[in-house]
């Protein structure tokens, strides 16, 4: 392997996320070590380098990789920040009192990282690497732990807890299951629940099939589908944070998609708050319902002819 590939192998062994195992990250490590293409890793040294005149100048001169000046922020935000979090690099170790915007601001390898790099390819590599990981941990594992800590739990009536990916959209979806459903569809069965990171997150295939619903068209389904078997109503719920509500166009699409369903269709636009509701007010279709999570006890009915009918 060439030096760039070896640097990538070191980053992978350290447990850096895939985004920090790319060529830019490898070149940054080489620059911080002062390793040229023909140097052994044992020559790695600890030195303070600025981004533009230090790291970027080094990789241009030694590895013939030239980056535009505005790439400086990419080096800082997508590589060096993660190196610092992983215990590989330090910020301003040789002048810790420097102001944030100082032109002398610099990065350097940590002593622990330097010891690992210097023995790469030797018999001492495995033990030195293991010691580093035990002390610093894996950044990829840390990121995964943080992501898991931010997951949105959704507690289903039967006691099962689902974990949706972080985000406002999924927070409203959780509110629909935990607050809307018990109030307005007590005893209803969840047939489908999407996720901003994975569209078909929860699918009750048997329940959908029993109502002649399209199992193969997940991309067209609303965010949530609830079946109230006692009243034979199917609630089709769109959660509105960044995407729109049940508009006249969307209403026609859902009516066509669920045409074979024997249950009465109820169309709901769920909003996190009144501010978001007001933003989409003029887009909401008649013959649909609105639920707002910040006032969960109430619904707004865009019922049109429903209550005017003589039936």
Whether residue 97 is predicted with pLDDT greater than 90 in this model: the reply is: no
Mean pLDDT of 107-121: 94
Domains of the chain in start order, with CATH, are: 3-147 (1.10.10.1820), 151-308 (3.40.1350.80)
Model's pTM, two decimal places? 0.51
Tell me the pLDDT of the chain averaged across its residues: 85
The pLDDT confidence band at residue 140, using thresholds 50, 70 and 90, is very low
- The alpha carbon dihedral of 86, 88, 93, 99 has a sign of negative
What's the pLDDT score for residue 138? Answer: 58
Smallest CA-to-CA distance from 164 within 218, 192, 201 is with 201
Whether residue 304 is predicted with pLDDT greater than 80 in this model: the reply is: no
From CA 261, how far away is CA 209, in angstroms rounded?
10
User: Are 188 and 171 a contacting pair, CB within 8 Å?
Assistant: no
Whether residue 39 is predicted with pLDDT greater than 50 in this model: the reply is: yes
Q: Which tokens hold the place of 225?
A: 């589908």
What's the pLDDT score for residue 291? Answer: 95
What's the pLDDT score for residue 203? Answer: 78
Q: Which tokens hold the place of 21?
A: 């195992």
The pLDDT tens digits for 157-209 are: 655 667 777 678 888 888 998 889 989 999 888 888 877 655 556 778 788 88
Helix (H) or strand (E) holding 118: helix 111-118
Mean pLDDT of 27-53: 96
What's the pLDDT score for residue 68? Answer: 93
Instruction: Please give the share of the chain, as a percent, with pLDDT higher than 90.
Output: 52
DSSP 52: I
User: In terms of pLDDT, which residue wins out, 230 or 165?
Assistant: 230
DSSP 80: I
Q: Which tokens hold the place of 235?
A: 């609630």
From CA 295, how far away is CA 297, in angstroms rounded?
6
What's the pLDDT score for residue 22? Answer: 94
């Amino acid at each position: 392997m060439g030096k760039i590939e070896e640097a990538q192998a070191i980053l992978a062994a350290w447990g850096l996320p895939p985004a920090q195992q790319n060529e830019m990250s490898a070149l940054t490590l080489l620059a911080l070590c002062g390793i040229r293409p023909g140097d052994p890793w044992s020559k790695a040294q600890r030195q303070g380098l600025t981004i533009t005149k230090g790291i970027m100048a080094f990789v241009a001169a030694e590895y013939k990789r030239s980056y535009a000046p505005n790439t400086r922020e990419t080096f800082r935000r997508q590589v060096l920040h993660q190196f610092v979090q992983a215990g590989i690099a330090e910020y301003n170790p040789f002048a810790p009192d420097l102001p944030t915007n100082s032109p002398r601001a610099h990065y350097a390898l940590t002593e622990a990282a330097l010891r690992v790099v210097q023995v790469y390819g030797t018999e001492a590599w495995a033990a030195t690497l293991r010691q580093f990981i035990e002390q610093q941990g894996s950044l990829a594992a840390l990121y995964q732990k943080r992501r898991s800590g931010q997951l949105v739990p959704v507690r289903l009536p039967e006691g099962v807890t689902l974990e949706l990916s972080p985000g406002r959209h999924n927070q409203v979806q959780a509110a629909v299951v935990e607050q809307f459903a018990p109030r307005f569809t007590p005893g209803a069965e969840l047939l489908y629940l999407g996720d901003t990171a994975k569209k078909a997150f929860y699918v009750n295939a048997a329940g959908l099939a029993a109502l002649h619903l399209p199992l193969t068209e997940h991309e067209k389904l609303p965010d949530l589908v609830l079946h109230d078997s006692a009243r034979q109503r199917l609630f089709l719920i769109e959660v509105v944070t960044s995407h729109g509500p049940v508009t006249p166009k969307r209403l026609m699409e859902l009516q066509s998609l669920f045409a074979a369903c024997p249950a009465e269709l109820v169309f709901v636009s769920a909003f996190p708050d009144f501010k978001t509701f007001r933003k989409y007010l003029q887009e909401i279709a008649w013959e649909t319902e609105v639920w707002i999570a910040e006032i969960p006890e109430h619904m707004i009915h865009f019922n049109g002819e429903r209550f005017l009918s003589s039936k």
